[in-house]
């Protein structure tokens, strides 16, 4: 009997669960798991967690403390189910503050240590702004691994590689969303998908220049996008799409390969002015980065409201 596509994918790509749902992680047995403010909010709203969340909220010094306590509590549970990384995001409110981002990362790592989770198991997720990339660069020098999220453009990817971050998360589906809004009648199926093309370009550039940063495609809208990136270093996938892959017994060929001859001269690193200019020239990346920060912050505010009510 032919293998299902999820099993085939796991043979060539590290599969990551894009969820805070413990039951889904148990079912699909990914290597890693990623969370973000939206996913933490979903997990926090589960009725079975309400009593524990109230306890955490009441014992926290303020709402920021409570939010981090919840994120680490859920992340620690996940760490018992996956053998690899667990990604935990710092507040989107800090996306333009390097020093505050570093301080919050230190706090999260200390919290994980109190739960018995080593820093080598944690990826601190930071938005791929100039300030976020600078924070990640310093954290990496301290031995704290980072996941640069809300990544939409090649400029962000290049700056992350220059900074030596552990992993980047290019958002395939949100790139597609932007292009569909601009050209609703265009054919974006298969290899015409601009989100897929973006990850392919980044992957080939990284492998061609010998960058060690892991490329992890994220934010998928359909299984076709995932299949088009089979062979990528990592792919983080929602439970719904994991289930579709597990139920499909069609063939899944490798589409990306690390077997690229490394070129000898990588481009010069961006300075701040060059980075901001190049990002500004990319309307899609500029708009989706700003929108993504706002959306994550909106869900964090909802979580803050929930925890505030539980503290009373």
By annotation, the residues acting in catalysis are 125
Question: Which tokens hold the place of 30?
Answer: 């990914």
Alpha-carbon distance of 59 to 275, in angstroms, equals 42
DSSP calls for 71-139: HHHHHHHHHTT-SS-EEEEPPGGGTT-HHHHHHHHHHHHHHHHHTT--GGGEEEEEE-SHHHHHHHHHH
Q: Report how far Cα 94 is from the mean position of its chain's Cα atoms.
A: 16
Of 94, 169, 86, which is closest to residue 134 (Cα–Cα)? 94
Sign of CA dihedral 185, 183, 157, 130: negative
Question: At 105, phi and psi to the nearest 5?
Answer: -60, -45
Strand partners, 203: none
Residue 189 in contact with residue 170, Cβ under 8 Å?
no
Query: How many CB atoms are located within 10 Å of the residue 148 CB?
Result: 30
Q: Which of 74, 106, 100, 97 is nearest to 87 (CA)?
A: 74
Structure tokens at 128: 């791929």
């Amino acid at each position: 009997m032919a293998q299902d596509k999820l099993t085939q994918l796991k043979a060539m790509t590290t599969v990551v669960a894009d969820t805070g749902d413990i039951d889904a992680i148990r079912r699909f047995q990914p290597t890693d798991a990623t969370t973000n403010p939206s996913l933490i909010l979903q997990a926090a709203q589960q009725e079975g967690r309400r009593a524990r969340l109230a306890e955490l909220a009441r014992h926290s010094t303020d709402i920021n403390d409570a939010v981090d306590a919840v994120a680490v509590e859920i992340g620690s549970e996940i760490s018992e189910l996956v053998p690899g990384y667990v990604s935990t995001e710092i507040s989107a409110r800090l996306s333009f503050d390097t020093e505050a981002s570093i301080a919050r990362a230190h706090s999260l790592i200390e919290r994980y240590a109190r739960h018995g989770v080593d820093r080598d198991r944690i990826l601190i997720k930071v938005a791929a702004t100039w300030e976020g990339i600078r924070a990640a660069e310093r954290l990496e020098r301290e031995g704290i691994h980072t996941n640069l999220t809300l990544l939409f453009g090649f400029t962000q990817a290049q700056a992350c590689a220059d900074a030596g971050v552990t992993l980047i998360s290019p958002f395939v589906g949100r790139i597609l969303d932007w292009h569909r809004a601009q050209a609703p009648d265009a054919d974006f199926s298969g290899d015409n998908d601009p989100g897929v093309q973006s990850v392919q370009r980044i992957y080939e550039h990284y492998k061609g220049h010998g960058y060690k940063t892991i490329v992890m495609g994220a934010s998928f809208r359909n299984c076709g996008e995932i299949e088009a990136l089979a062979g990528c270093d990592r792919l983080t996938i929602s439970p719904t799409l994991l289930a579709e892959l597990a139920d499909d017994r069609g063939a899944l060929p490798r589409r990306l390969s690390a077997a690229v001859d490394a070129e000898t001269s990588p481009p010069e690193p961006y300075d701040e002015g060059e980075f901001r200019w190049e990002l500004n020239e990319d309307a899609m990346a500029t708009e989706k980065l700003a929108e993504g920060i706002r959306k994550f912050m909106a869900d964090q505010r909802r979580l803050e409201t929930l925890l505030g009510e539980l503290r009373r």
